[in-house]
Amino acid sequence: MSDSYDLVIIGAGFAGLVCARVAAERGLRVVVIEKKSEAGIQLHTTGIIIKEAADELHIPTQFTRKVRGVRLYAPGMKQIDLESPGYYFLATDTRGVLRWQAEEAARAGAELIFGQAFEGARREGDEIVLDKPAIRARYLVGADGARSSVARCFGLGTNSRMLVGVEAEFEGIEGIDPERLHCFLDSNLSPGYIGWAVPGVGVTQIGLAGRLGEKPSTDALIDKLRGVFGFENARIVERRSGPIPVGGAVRPFAAERVLLVGDAAGLVSPLTAGGIHPAFRYGRRAAQVISDYLLDDGPDPGQVLAREYPRYRWKALLRRGLDRDPPNWLYDWTLALPPTRLRPARVFPPQGFEDQGRLARFAAVEIRKSGIVNGYRLYWQTDNPRILDDDAEQAFKKSPQGGFDRHRANACQGPPGVSNRARLSRCDLSRREASTTQEDRHGQAGEYI
């Protein structure tokens, strides 16, 4: 171990490890100081990675599995499915991901010191000096999580608004749709947030979050889910919990030669409470701007990132609404309303029509009912769920000509004055070879979008 570095990073989490790897790749002498004895232990996250993050950091597939969409459950357990063609989440073996990140950082040349807590530092001229371990560095990054010691040491902003998340990891849960991230709205169980069940990598993670000080109970959620999933052979293999900052980026998040990233900087969506993507994105950006600053006389990293760190304005507004604990009847009621059903789908980026072989895909699916008709699995979306059942099914029965019968679809218009067209949203032809031509599949179904 040397005693002089360009960059010292406190915290070997998602943000710190990305920052370490990229900074080392750019030629900085980097050291990471982590209080845990190794990477990926004592986790406090579910580890769901959104597609945008997966696109930015190519995690080996053995640590992930794709989850195609969300199943949202009202307090009364009415469900809707949300998905967008081409979009997915990654459930992760989070231990594996963090260990892999640590290996990558080390491979790039960063030094990693585990089992050593940050105990303070001071600025001496152009250097940051730590007493334990005794090292000097030209720059310090605080990637030490929601309750950052680096922030306190240098008088930077700290997270004030937090949720607390709790989770149990199970083996042996049966009957859970592996293609869905299952999300449960219930203000009694998770005031200010939601509960979740994630069919993960070899395990199922069940958890929920709520306001700090009102620690939510995983056992209460598990009891509620006994009627939904099979717990007969299930056993808990791990429990975890942790704070989630939801107040937006802290101010100030930087001082001379010191910068916060990840949870330490409050870079977590106040709405979804997802912080892994910003940890990856701004961990990497921090490394880039710090190396520009140290190696090429670039601008002050804090000033550059002040223009780039997200402000989460509208998400913070929505968070205020959630903090008021919408009553459960309101969730039950609103999930039954078409406009509200459409809104969550916009969380995902809208995707255009694309052809993926035998699967004809169309614009984002807001409301879905699927069913087998004449051997084809069909998916519908509609402005009015009342017409989803018989009318829509009749309307989209395959016509004798081999296409989808436009006239019958038109016949399923709802009551006068109500905009409630049923729309074929997706047609999965994989169950049976289609007699239709490619043009039929696209053109005919596209008529109803």
Residue 146 burial by Cβ neighbours in a 10 Å radius (0-12, 13-18, 19+): buried
Dist. CA 272–CA 341, nearest whole Å: 17
Element spanning 209, H or E:
strand 204-211
Smallest distance, Å, CB 271 to ligand FAD? 12
Could you count the other beta carbons within 10 Å of the beta carbon of residue 344?
15
Asked if residue 266 lies in contact with residue 249, where contact means CB atoms within 8 angstroms, the answer is: yes
3-state DSSP helix/strand/coil % of the chain, to nearest 5 = 30, 30, 40
Dist. CA 383–CA 406, nearest whole Å: 18
Beta strand 127-130 with 135-142: parallel, antiparallel or unpaired?
A: antiparallel
Smallest distance, Å, CB 18 to ligand FAD? 8
Identity of the residue, 104 or 366, whose beta carbon is nearer to ligand FAD in the bound complex = 104
Identity of the residue, 144 or 366, whose beta carbon is nearer to ligand FAD in the bound complex = 144
Q: Give the residues lining the site for ligand FAD (CB under 6 A).
A: 10-16, 33-36, 44-48, 117-118, 143-145, 149, 165, 167, 207, 242, 244, 262-263, 268, 274-277, 279
Identity of the residue, 144 or 391, whose beta carbon is nearer to ligand FAD in the bound complex = 144
Smallest distance, Å, CB 58 to ligand FAD? 17
Identity of the residue, 45 or 425, whose beta carbon is nearer to ligand FAD in the bound complex = 45
Dist. CA 403–CA 400, nearest whole Å: 8
Smallest distance, Å, CB 267 to ligand FAD? 7
Identity of the residue, 44 or 99, whose beta carbon is nearer to ligand FAD in the bound complex = 44
Smallest distance, Å, CB 295 to ligand FAD? 24
At what angle are helices 94-108 and 14-25 packed, to 10 degrees?
Answer: 20
Identity of the residue, 207 or 403, whose beta carbon is nearer to ligand FAD in the bound complex = 207
Smallest distance, Å, CB 199 to ligand FAD? 13
Smallest distance, Å, CB 2 to ligand FAD? 19
**72, β-bridge pairs:** 80, 183
Asked if residue 249 lies in contact with residue 309, where contact means CB atoms within 8 angstroms, the answer is: yes
Could you count the other beta carbons within 10 Å of the beta carbon of residue 131?
10
**244, β-bridge pairs:** 163
Smallest distance, Å, CB 19 to ligand FAD? 9
The residue of the chain with the least Cβ separation from ligand FAD equals: 275
**381, β-bridge pairs:** 423
Identity of the residue, 99 or 442, whose beta carbon is nearer to ligand FAD in the bound complex = 99
Identity of the residue, 152 or 432, whose beta carbon is nearer to ligand FAD in the bound complex = 152
56 in helix, strand or coil? helix
